[in-house]
């Protein structure tokens, strides 16, 4: 019973990772739509987000293959792998995606780059 629960957890994480990667690739591909304007923030963070989306895709495929073709799971090992994968791919991507909506992150961005945050929302 424990093995089935761990396999379902790994399969769920694989599915979530693959869905997030697909969503992020679609959003990155739609940058500049419909008028072609890509904000400076999007230009600067695009390569990092592509890297994180690729890493999320790879981790999703890893967990999928491990679930389908792997041996028994150890609960602690699987939990640590999922936690590390989330901390290395999902959390940084979510921080970058949500940075324009966070005053603290916007202030840090403006202090580091000496430019105003331009996320394309304006009047």
- Mean pLDDT, the chain, as a whole number? 88
Q: What percent of the chain has pLDDT over 90?
A: 49
What was the pLDDT predicted at 121?
62
Q: What is the pLDDT of residue 123?
A: 44
Which residue, among 84, 16, 13, 89, has the nearest Cα to 49 in the 3D structure?
Answer: 89
pLDDT attached to residue 122:
55
Buried b (16+ CB within 10 A) or exposed e, 56-75: bbebbebbbebbeeeeebee
Q: How many residues does the chain have?
A: 123
pLDDT of residue 30: 92
pLDDT tens track for 50-101: 999 999 999 999 999 999 988 777 888 899 999 999 999 999 999 998 888 8
- Look at residues 117, 31, 21 and name the one whose alpha carbon lies nearest to residue 60: 21
Mean pLDDT of 33-40: 83
pLDDT of residue 22: 97
Coil vs helix vs strand at 117? coil
Whether 48 and 104 have beta carbons less than 8 Å apart is answered as no
CA 43 to chain centre: 17
Across the range 29-51, mean pLDDT stands at: 88
């Amino acid at each position: 019973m424990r093995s089935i629960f761990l396999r379902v957890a790994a399969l769920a994480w694989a599915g979530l990772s693959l869905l997030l990667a697909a969503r992020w690739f679609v959003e990155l591909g739609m940058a500049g739509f419909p008028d072609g304007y890509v904000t400076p923030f999007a230009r600067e963070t695009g390569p990092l987000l592509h890297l994180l989306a690729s890493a999320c895709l790879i981790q999703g495929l890893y967990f999928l293959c491990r679930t389908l073709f792997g041996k028994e799971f150890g609960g602690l090992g699987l939990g640590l792998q999922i936690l590390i994968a989330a901390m290395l791919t999902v959390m940084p991507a979510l921080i970058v995606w949500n940075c324009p909506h966070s005053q603290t992150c916007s202030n840090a961005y403006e202090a580091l780059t000496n430019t105003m945050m331009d996320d394309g929302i304006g009047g």
